[in-house]
Amino acid sequence: MIQVGVNGYGTIGKRVADAVAEQPDMELVGVAKTRPNHEAETAVRRGYPLYAAIPERADQFADAGIDVAGEVDELVAASDVVVDATPSGVGEQNLELYDDYDTPAIVQGGEGADVADVSFNARANYANALGADSVRVVSCNTTGLSRLLAPLQEAYGVEKARVTLVRRGGDPGQTDRGPINDILPDPVTIPSHHGPDVNTILPDLDIDTLGMKVPATLMHTHSVNVTLDAAPDADEVRDRLADENRLFLIPDDSGIDGSGKLKEFAMDAGRPRGDIWENCIWEESITVEGSDLYLFQAIHQESDVVPENVDAIRAITGDEDADESRATTDDRLGVGLDSVFADAPGRRALRRPAVPTP
């Protein structure tokens, strides 16, 4: 069993901890928090050993009536891998601690690409992270783009990708974020950071990205144009994308016309926290004109990197079978929203790869 510690139990950390706890080959050693709050209480209720991320604040947990198992260095020492889900910039500072205990670490996409040995996406470059000392799981948007572009590049070749990212202003819990009533080029310069970040995963891909920030909290939306080396028809592209378990093709007649209904659908489907681990591609939007492919996809920024972190744990500990790792992760989490529609009378079943029994 791979012993996993999670440093930072917020938006990403709590989801990664839950995902690790579901894996057949992993054991969650514990989670670390900087201060007692409702998330710390949630960790205790779930039975996760809780560690004080800042030793000087350990007494605050006792004052709040929350028991801690120790301090963060003890968590690091007991772990085979640490997933660092702390705020941007803190992960880089924590790498020295992980190095002191010779514990490999996974940081998140808010850190710079030069912080870790390799940037990571399970679909596109799993093998690059095998046995690394540090791995950076790229951001939610870069994850979504890499998942989409890797199979397109493999199947048809990509001459050029152009993406406009309409980004949420903040997560639902980020009450200090914005804009409140505005639409902002973000950044106003071109490209946005997302294209160069995709190149840390797919270095030979020609990609330009533009970013906008809007007053929304639910999901990001991407307007994608990819010029392919080949000229497949739209049905062929739909079938190819349907073979990808972390891509969900929203059926034309589902009535899901935006991120609000996507989140409602996820909650109705019983997803924890209403999470959507998959890219959500509107099937009807998939259009091919000559060699130009167009589509819209939505990305749930709070959760799409969660399965990537689980796969990164296996890669960093030397598990060489990328397909088996992804399949096991997906099976244990329940990735594959199309299964909700698959049994409906008369509905076209989307093809999925077989999932090996763990």
- CA-to-CA distance for 199 and 187, rounded, in angstroms? 18
Please indicate whether residue 280 is annotated as part of the active site.
Answer: no
Number of helical H runs and strand E runs in the chain: 13, 16
- Give one DSSP letter per residue of 137-157, joined into a string: EPPHHHHHHHHHHHHHHHHH-
- CA-to-CA distance for 39 and 300, rounded, in angstroms? 20
- CA-to-CA distance for 117 and 132, rounded, in angstroms? 6
Q: Which of 105, 116, 132, 140 is labelled catalytic? A: 140
- CA-to-CA distance for 204 and 74, rounded, in angstroms? 42
CA 68 to chain centre: 29
Contact 313, 6 (CB under 8 A): no
Active-site positions? 140
